[in-house]
């Protein structure tokens, strides 16, 4: 499996279904092997006919954000014009089409357009009589197609952006914020298949009495932040207040708008921590949502909360269950929820009884559950979902009630099956403090001879290198180059309970490093084919921090290092990153408050011991770990005369997303590993491995 195989592998999109659960529509994105241009195609699948094959549908041009309305039309956004003359100058407009089981499309028909605004997304009411659309605009805009508000062009106006001291974020993730503009949601009636009226802002018509906030939340919020009541009488939405506290607060809240234009009602004011994912029950009696307890902590336990809509009473359904849920969906009968959570290298699905709170782990897949996502409970029972693993990309599955699932698609499985196979082994060992720590080894199957080792270090740090497919840090494609990829879910990782996750707090370079050291030793003891004398460590984000930490605290162990978007100097990082709640929680306060905590775990303080060759990778649009952190580490390497390379992507953020850039990233990494691990010793040598730390 080459880097090109990974980059051009077809990618399954999130499925949608008709209200009756009869049909599903999903996308498959293909990447041209020569141009590396990515193009989505859409398919309809009959879920109630055994053996039905997917049928490709032609929507007659660009289409995104597909959804079925209660009227059974297929809605989507597109930049097309009614006459098909080419892209519309304002970009996205809302369309719908009639779709038949054989893939025949009638239309598309224009539903809504706005002269000076382009929707970034939308949510339909259950009966498709209303639509909520959102985009970024000034708070004083009274209409969605705002022409009267905001920062109008002025004579002699320069290009500079002026921020006030209480403006909140000035930049976030990979975008500079435009002063005075926010993500805002407007709700419109749909009459006769067309948007009607001026629209109603859910944040309140009057900025003085309403809220100034971002909905969807930035930088990753979307349709999960906006939900209509089942009867269409109003909208639940998640908002982050945009004020001076924004960079230091994790206080997302859920609001209710009755669509009158009045100020919305804050439903979660009692909780000053995170509240999100408003999900009303189909019968309209309850509102389920996700919530954390501790303000300022972005990786606290995420529990499922249940609010009685009539009484306003709230109870925690899963607070006593020591896992953190990431998604929720109601069953059709409103009696239970289906939720997913990290759980010891897997992301399985759980059934949560809405009355008793009883939690049942669902056995949907023979063997390991791996990574289950995009769960859609079906009206007739059972569910539709996607499943991926280290072994193969996502495919669409359906499970009947009480039964294991069967695959419905073959988007990439057969293609992967034609490539050289790899094998993944799970293992556990006593880590720091004697706690059980889990890891995985992925290596070529039926490989002859000894194999160099790669220590894979995940980011977060409250994350996991679990059993899932990735288009970026993919163990299978790396193992296919002739390496044994060893990942360790060190203290701080997700899926092992909140105490284990919390254990990294103010201990960034302590227990996690001990776990990595013991985990590497355990893997080498378990598999004597792995050559511990030829080893490289690599990681991104916190994983990149740990690579920098290893360079000074474990300097003689590895033949090479790869550091991607890693933290190098905790002081300069603190004053340059955007989400300040993150370092404040993990280090016990601001740099001014507790400089000793930052300096205790600061890689820059141990540069005098650096000696290992290092490849440094960074993106100029990364505002979470600004690219200057990578430049600083490269400068340190240069000053010490250590063999090193610096790969800078001017158009990438914290992740490498572009197809051409991804191919360059992989080939650069492969060349670096090959030079330091295979240039002097044949990878298929019969020389005995050096399995000592």
Active site residues: 541, 622, 654
| 49-55: long-range contacts, CB 8 A cutoff, minimum separation 24 | 54/408, 54/409, 55/101, 55/102, 55/103
CA 334 – CA 321 distance, rounded (Å): 21
Q: Are strands 484-489 and 451-457 parallel, antiparallel or unpaired?
A: parallel
Per-residue CA distances from 683 to 449, 451, 487 (Å): 7, 6, 21
CA 317: distance to chain centroid? 25
Strands 644-649 and 614-619: parallel
Q: Which of 400, 401, 402, 418 is nearest to 410 (CA)?
A: 418
Under 8 Å CB-to-CB from 21, ≥6 apart: which residues? 47, 48, 378, 379, 380
Q: Which long-range contacts (CB under 8 A, 24 or more apart) does 86-93 make?
A: 87/62, 88/113, 90/114, 90/115, 90/116, 90/117, 90/118, 91/118, 92/64, 92/118, 92/119, 92/120, 93/118, 93/119
CA–CA separation, 412 vs 421, rounded Å?
Answer: 14
Is residue 354 reached through a cis peptide bond, with omega within 30 degrees of 0 on the bond before it?
no
Tokens 């098909």 label which residue?
Answer: 84
| Length of the chain (residues) | 693
- Cβ-contact 453, 483 below 8 angstroms: yes
User: What does the alpha-carbon distance between residue 477 and residue 567 come to, in Å, rounded to a whole number?
Assistant: 26
The tokens for 575 are 């004053």
Helix (H) or strand (E) holding 674: helix 659-678
């Amino acid at each position: 499996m080459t880097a090109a195989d990974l980059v051009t592998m077809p990618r399954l999109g999130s499925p949608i279904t008709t209200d009756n659960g009869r049909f599903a529509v999903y996308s498959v994105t293909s990447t041209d092997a020569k141009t590396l241009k990515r193009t989505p195609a859409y398919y309809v699948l009959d879920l109630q006919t055994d053996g039905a094959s997917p049928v490709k549908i032609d929507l007659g041009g660009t289409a995104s954000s597909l959804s079925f309305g209660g009227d059974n039309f297929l809605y989507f956004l597109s930049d097309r014009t009614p006459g098909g003359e080419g892209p519309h100058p304002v970009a996205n407009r809302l369309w719908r089409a009639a779709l038949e089981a054989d893939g025949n499309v009638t239309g598309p028909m224009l539903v809504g357009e706005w002269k000076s605004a382009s929707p970034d997304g939308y949510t339909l009411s259950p009966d498709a009589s209303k639509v909520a659309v959102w985009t970024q605009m000034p708070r004083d805009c009274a209409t969605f197609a705002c022409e009267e508000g905001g920062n109008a062009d002025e004579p002699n106006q320069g290009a500079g952006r002026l921020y006030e001291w209480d403006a909140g974020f000035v930049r976030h993730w990979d975008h500079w914020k435009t002063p005075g503009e926010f993500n805002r949601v407007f709700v419109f009636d749909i009459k006769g298949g067309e948007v009607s009226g001026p629209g109603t802002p859910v944040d309140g018509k009057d900025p003085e009495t309403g809220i100034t906030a971002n909905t969807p939340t930035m930088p990753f919020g979307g349709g999960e932040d906006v939900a209509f009541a089942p009867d269409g009488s109003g909208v639940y939405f998640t908002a982050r207040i945009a004020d001076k506290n924004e960079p230091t607060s994790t206080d997302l809240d859920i609001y209710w708008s009755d669509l009158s234009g009045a100020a919305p009602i804050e439903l979660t004011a009692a909780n000053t921590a995170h509240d999100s994912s408003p999900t009303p029950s189909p019968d309209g009696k309850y509102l389920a949502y996700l919530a954390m307890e501790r303000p300022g902590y972005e990786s606290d336990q995420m529990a499922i909360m249940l609010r009685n809509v009539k009484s306003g009473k709230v109870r925690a359904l899963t607070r006593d269950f020591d896992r953190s849920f990431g998604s929720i969906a109601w069953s059709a009968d409103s009696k239970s929820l289906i939720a997913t959570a990290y759980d010891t290298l897997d992301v399985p699905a759980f059934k949560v009884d809405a009355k008793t709170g009883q939690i049942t782990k669902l056995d949907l897949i023979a063997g390991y559950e791996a990574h289950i996502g995009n769960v859609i409970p079906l009206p007739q029972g059972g569910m539709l979902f996607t499943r991926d693993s280290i072994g193969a990309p996502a495919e669409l599955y359906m499970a009947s009630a009480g039964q294991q699932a069967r695959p419905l698609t073959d988007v990439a499985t057969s293609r992967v099956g034609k490539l050289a196979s790899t094998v993944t082994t799970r293992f556990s060992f006593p880590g720091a403090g004697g706690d059980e720590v889990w890891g995985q080894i992925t290596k070529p199957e039926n490989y002859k001879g000894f194999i160099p080792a790669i220590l894979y270090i995940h980011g977060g740090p409250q994350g996991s290198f679990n059993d899932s497919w990735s288009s970026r840090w993919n163990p299978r494609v790396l193992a296919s180059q002739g390496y044994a990829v060893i990942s360790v879910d060190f203290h701080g990782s997700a899926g092992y309970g909140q105490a284990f996750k919390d254990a990294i707090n103010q201990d960034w370079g302590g227990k996690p490093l001990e776990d990595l050291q013991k985990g590497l030793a355990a893997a080498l003891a378990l598999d004597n084919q792995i050559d511990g004398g030829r080893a490289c460590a690599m990681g991104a984000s916190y994983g990149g921090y740990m690579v920098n930490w290893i360079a000074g605290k474990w300097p003689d162990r590895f033949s090479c290092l790869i550091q991607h978007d890693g933290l190098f100097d905790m002081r300069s990082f603190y004053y340059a990153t955007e989400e300040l709640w993150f370092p404040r929680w993990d280090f016990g306060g601001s740099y001014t408050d507790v400089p000793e905590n930052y300096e205790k775990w600061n890689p820059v303080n141990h540069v005098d011991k650096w000696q290992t060759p290092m490849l440094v990778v960074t993106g100029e649009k990364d505002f979470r770990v600004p690219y200057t952190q990578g430049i600083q580490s490269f400068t340190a390497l240069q000053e010490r005369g250590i063999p090193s390379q610096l790969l800078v992507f001017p158009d990438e953020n914290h992740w490498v997303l572009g197809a051409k850039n991804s191919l360059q990233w992989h080939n650069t990494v492969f060349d670096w590993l090959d030079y330091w691990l295979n240039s002097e010793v044949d990878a298929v040598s019969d020389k005995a491995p050096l399995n000592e730390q």
